A = this chain, B = another copy of it.
Amino acid sequence: MRLFSITPPRRATTPEDLTRIADVTLERVRDLELDALVLYDIEDESDRNPALRPFPFVASLDPARFHADYLRRWDRPVIIYRSVGKYDPTELKGWLAGQDPALVATVLVGASSRDSAVRTRLTEAQSLWRDTGSVVPLGAVAIPERHAHHNDEHDRMLAKQALGTSFFVTQVVYDLTWAKDLVSDYAYACRGQGREPAHVVFTLSVCGSTRTLEFLQWLGVHVPRWLQNQLEHAEDPLSDSYEQCTGMARELAQFCRRLDVPFGFNIESVSNRRVEIEATVRLAQHVRDLLAG
């Protein structure tokens, strides 16, 4: 499963610029043989972390709108994230009912902290999805960091699967061991319960500067101490992190094959810098070839 993620442009963008950005994006991903293009639904998340956000938050366009209005030329599937707390239940249900399940899947994401003011809770959103016939393929996030701290993320995954989730997308992975720990516990739990594991899609993202590194950590990504040292002291962190990502992709692919867990990769850039976006596309090409080989 090959995914590539984008964040819709900021809300204030003019229609002309939205068209141009959509064209550039589709041109970029044209040769990546993607199974789907992922559209994130960005939240501020400042309530999740008291530390200063290293990149300022900019409200971005609703991914469903960006898809409907500007990505019509993309004739392959999309996976549209829904930060469900941002939407009214009626709005969310109407959207779910209106999608072509051959072309649109969704990942429902709960609020980033318990204190967030939300219009729809995650459990409610899952009910709305069932009310619309459970036809739009449903994904969920899986977080190796949460597993490292609480040892129950595999149970959460199985519970989500019982409610209809058919694939999981991880948070950005920089700790290979933690990613392996989660998929291993998940695989053995599935075996123990006689259930087929769902696709686990690992998100990979290059890191071209200490600013990007700080942002990844702010987002909750665990970067092992040695790698943090290496990226902080690197002459070319982009090249170092690229090498790290391709190494993790190779190892995770081997590992999942050995465990018989269907898997994939989701490539994203958490920064807007051109060199990082270009490296992201190269990483997606690398993963395309890895999964073809």
Contacts and interface: CB of A to CB of B under 8 A. Distances in A.
Contacts of A226: 177, 180-181, 183-185, 255
A188 interface: yes
A176 interface: yes
Nearest to A187: B229
A230 interface: yes
| Interface secondary structure of A, over-half rule | helix
Contacts of A177: 175-177, 224, 226
Interface of A: 175-177, 180-181, 183-185, 188, 224-226, 229-230, 233, 255
A183 B227 CA distance: 12
Contact of A184 (B176, B185, B229): B229
A225 B184 contact: yes
Contacts of A225: 181, 184-185
Nearest to A176: B177
Contacts of A229: 184-185, 188
11 contacts: A176-B177, A177-B177, A180-B224, A180-B226, A181-B224, A183-B226, A184-B225, A184-B226, A185-B226, A185-B229, A226-B255
A287 to B, nearest CB: 21
A224 B180 CA distance: 9
